[in-house]
Structure 1
Amino acid sequence: MGFHGKNLRNGRHSITGQIYLVTAVTHHRQSLFTQWNATCAVARAIHQAVPAHLLAWVLMPDHLHCLVQLENDSLSAFMQRLKSLTAISFNKTLGRTGKVWQSGFHDHALRHEEDLKAAARYLVANPLRAGLVKSLRDYPFWNAVWL
């Protein structure tokens, strides 16, 4: 599987109640989430699959960032479920098959002293920093529990 797969998880443990900042990228970092209907399907799958766990998320053309608080799942199980459900929705909407997500993901456990809302603001501001929109109001593919 290589460096970006299973080996990233070696020696790491998921902690119930812990909040993680997680990034998953598309297969070969393709800009897959540019077609309105398919990207809407992925956003719906994110909401339907795991609303109790997700504190904030933003779907960019070639990656997903999310803040997730673990309850009963490991982080790996959570991400596997999220990536599977979103890939199924994406492929079904476009009538295609094939990989949507690159294997593995990057995560950072937030420490108690880190400002959770500041991390969420930084996460959802990705479309602004990437130059996709001039105002976050113009970007539909994000959400946060603080709204």
Structure 2
Amino acid sequence: MPELPRGKCLRNGRFSESGRIYLVTSVTHNREQVFSDWTLGRLVVNEFRAVQTLGAENSLAWVVMPDHIHWLLELTGGELTRVLQGVKSRSARAINRSRGTHRQVWQRGFHDRALRREDDLLMMARYIVANPLRAGLAKRIGDYPLWDAIWL
């Protein structure tokens, strides 16, 4: 049996639970450095904020890296898959409009990890927003424009 791409395998057996906190990672198609252009990264940020306004989730922390996102969120309504599909779909349309293209922006699927309330969420948020430092994209967290956390 041929091996499926990792993104497709991750969708099998996924279960969403309202009130659960998830750490989600999604990468761009072919790991293209789409969000090296911060204006395109802001389009993803806009979608994070829009979906929170709709009441589907509470964003706890996120970072938009050049070729992927990390998002710590509490699911408050709906299914995790639908929330992510919506963010990816709407941001891809906005990115393609901005670039004047019709290209695939995101890899199919995403990776998620359900967290427990007793997990150290503040430590997880700090790890997420420090990604640009570890990648050498900034010397201080405040120097990188595509992140947020409710605690910081």
| TM-score (structure 2 length as normaliser) | 0.88
Question: Measured at CA, do residues 15 and 129 of structure 1 come closer, stay the same or move farther in structure 2, by a change above 3 Å?
Answer: same
Secondary structure at the counterpart of residue 49 of structure 2: helix
Any residues of structure 2 matched to 1:89-104 within 5 Å, and which? 89-104=94-109
| TM-score (structure 1 length as normaliser) | 0.91
Kindly indicate whether the alpha-carbon contact (under 8 Å) linking 1:37 and 1:93 is maintained by their aligned counterparts in 2. no
Structure 2 portions without partners, runs of 5+: none
Paired amino acid for 1:75: L
Runs of 4+ in 1 over 4 A off after TM superposition: none
Any residues of structure 2 matched to 1:1-147 within 5 Å, and which? 2-51=4-53, 52=55, 53=57, 54-147=59-152
Superposed CA RMSD: 1.8
Structure 1 portions without partners, runs of 5+: none
Paired amino acid for 1:76: T
Deviations 1:46-101 (CA, angstroms, capped at 9, x unpaired): 22233552111100000000001111111111110111111111111111111100
- Report sequence identity in percent: 49
Paired amino acid for 1:38: L
Question: Measured at CA, do residues 32 and 16 of structure 1 come closer, stay the same or move farther in structure 2, by a change above 3 Å?
Answer: same
